[in-house]
Structure 1
Amino acid sequence: MGSIQIPGGTQPIILHRDAVSGGGFGMVATVISADMDKVARAAPGTATRFEPVDMDEALAARRERRAALEAAAASLS
């Protein structure tokens, strides 16, 4: 998952789980693991809309993402 922070202004940044900001800024939200690839492919400045999800929805999205990846890998075999 990724953390969403707003360091010193109004422009949010999204950091992957292995990135830490040096400024000690608070995390205002997270990006669920199933959506991190979408965030990673977005060009800088891309308008992004976030929607709240609960834990069950996040886990279901992760299962669906995993199943889609497994299906794609199987089709290449």
Structure 2
Amino acid sequence: MKVLYFAWLRQRTGTGEEQVSPPEEVRDMAGLMRWLATRSPGHAAAFADPAQIRMAVNQDFCGPDHPVKPGDEIAFFPPVTGG
């Protein structure tokens, strides 16, 4: 599974992209965020407030209950405002 981080999530995790193999019990985006938060102090800081994080699976916006599976491309980014 490829995970992409943007903006302050990239700064806190210390990486823009990583390949991960979460345990089998990680089945949705919420579970993935909880698991990723255990990987390092930077990851914990990045996922400290999940309500402030937007996400996508295979380039489609989704919510925390969206399923994930091996081979997916996951992206995490802050809320974006336009103008």
TM (norm. structure 1) is 0.31
**Bigger Cα Rg:** 1
Q: Which has the higher helix share?
A: 1
Q: Which has the higher strand share?
A: 2
TM (norm. structure 2) is 0.29
